[in-house]
């Protein structure tokens, strides 16, 4: 991974923009005040609040155009996704994902602690050391994702979770697990079927769940990572996992493998396909299917075009992860 070394990172102070999602599950008044204080002690800081869907995309893009050096998000993975879309392709303005949601997959995947105040201190240390790196993004039907895009079963689960967003905020992981079980038992799960075809000719038909991953893990269950594709990283093309059966006898071995040793990954046999180094893929069906980007539901489609974009975004990463 290339390390950026513009003169700005060696200056004692840089221009920061903090984008806060005030409705995110872990964002409190106390944490906001403390984080703003920490950031403004040595750097020029402007603070924005999101008020509607995709507001963070516009705020991040505007900040970059106005000469901000680093955009920090305080919210969940959806807020990170929106900011990344606003910064995609412009590597002169770096992104910091401070964890303010219920799971915070991307922030944790690139090495930040799952506490916003601690993560802020780590980010400030990274800035002081100039630990800025270029990383890849995935793109699905023109929209970027930072850690994964999922189609089929997991998207149906996300849709069910988001139908009662306040339960997500207060119940967290138990609500996600309950929604997963309800979706698994539903007719919708049985009706899911689509095809996955990679640009290099690999194909699997009759898929019930497919995930294209930009980084690993897929998600976290509490503090435990769910590792579907351990090789996925910001320096590699996408990894694709496809499951043709979600029956209990098929799903249990997948769950055991995902929760097992981090370097194991899923088997590329039976009901599962695990393909690394995917530059592009198309997911299609003759009936509309749901998909989700970084844990946020999207409208159903009959075709989902997924592509890898290398070195598409600059990231402030914890110094121990620099160059990894």
Contact present, 145 and 158 (Cβ < 8 Å): no
221-235 pLDDT, tens per residue? 888 899 989 999 999
Token pair of 34 as six digits: 């403390």
Name the pLDDT band for 107 (thresholds 50, 70, 90).
Answer: very high
CA 214 from centre of chain: 8
Contact present, 56 and 88 (Cβ < 8 Å): no
Choose among 247, 229, 248, 246: nearest CA to 238: 229
Taking residues 298-313, report their average pLDDT: 97
146-182 pLDDT, tens per residue? 999 999 988 888 877 766 555 555 445 565 566 565 6
CA 111 – CA 113 distance, rounded (Å): 7
274-293 pLDDT, tens per residue? 999 999 999 999 999 999 99
Residue 94 pairs with which residues in a beta bridge? 70, 314
CA 4 – CA 241 distance, rounded (Å): 32
Q: What's this model's pTM, rounded to 2 decimal places?
A: 0.87
Name the pLDDT band for 242 (thresholds 50, 70, 90).
Answer: very high
306, containing H or E segment? strand 296-316
Q: Is 29 helix (H, G, I), strand (E, B) or coil?
A: helix
Whole-number percent of the chain with pLDDT over 90: 69
Q: Which residue ranges form the domains of the chain, and what is each CATH number?
A: 7-137+313-321 (3.40.50.10330), 143-309 (2.60.200.40)
Name the pLDDT band for 215 (thresholds 50, 70, 90).
Answer: very high
* Sign of the alpha-carbon dihedral angle for 44, 146, 138, 276: positive
Q: Which residue has the tokens 């020029």?
A: 44
Q: Long-range contacts for 166-171 (Cβ within 8 Å, ≥24 apart)?
A: 168/25, 168/102, 169/23, 169/25, 169/102, 170/25
Q: Is 133 helix (H, G, I), strand (E, B) or coil?
A: strand
């Amino acid at each position: 991974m290339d390390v950026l070394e513009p003169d700005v990172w060696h200056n004692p102070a840089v221009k920061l923009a903090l984008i806060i999602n005030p409705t995110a599950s872990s964002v409190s008044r106390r944490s906001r005040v403390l984080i703003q204080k920490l950031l403004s002690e040595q750097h020029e800081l402007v603070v924005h609040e999101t008020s509607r869907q995709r507001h963070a995309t516009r705020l991040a893009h505007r900040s970059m155009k106005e000469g901000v050096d680093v955009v920090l998000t305080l919210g969940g993975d959806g807020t990170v996704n929106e900011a990344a879309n606003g910064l995609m392709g412009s590597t002169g303005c770096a992104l910091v994902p401070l964890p303010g949601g219920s799971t915070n997959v991307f922030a944790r995947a690139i090495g930040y602690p799952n506490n916003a105040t601690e993560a802020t201190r780590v980010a400030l240390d990274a800035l002081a050391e100039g630990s800025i790196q270029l990383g890849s993004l995935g793109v699905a039907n023109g929209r970027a994702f930072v850690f994964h895009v999922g189609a089929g079963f997991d998207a149906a689960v996300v849709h069910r979770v988001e139908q009662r967003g306040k339960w997500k905020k207060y119940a967290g992981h138990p609500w996600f697990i309950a929604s997963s079980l309800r979706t698994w038992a539903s007719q919708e799960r049985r009706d899911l079927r689509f095809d996955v075809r990679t640009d290099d000719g690999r194909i699997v038909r009759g898929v019930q769940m497919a995930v294209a991953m930009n980084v690993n893990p897929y998600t976290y269950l509490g503090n435990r990572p769910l590792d579907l594709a351990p090789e996925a990283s910001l320096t590699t093309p996408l990894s694709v996992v496809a499951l043709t059966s979600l029956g209990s006898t098929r799903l249990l071995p997948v769950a055991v493998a995902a929760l097992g040793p981090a370097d194991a990954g899923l088997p590329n046999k039976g009901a599962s396909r695990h393909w690394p180094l995917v530059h592009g893929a198309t997911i299609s069906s003759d009936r509309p299917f749901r998909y989700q980007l970084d844990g946020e539901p999207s409208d159903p489609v009959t075709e989902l075009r997924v592509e890898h974009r290398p070195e598409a975004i600059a990231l402030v990463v914890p110094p121990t992860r620099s160059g990894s």
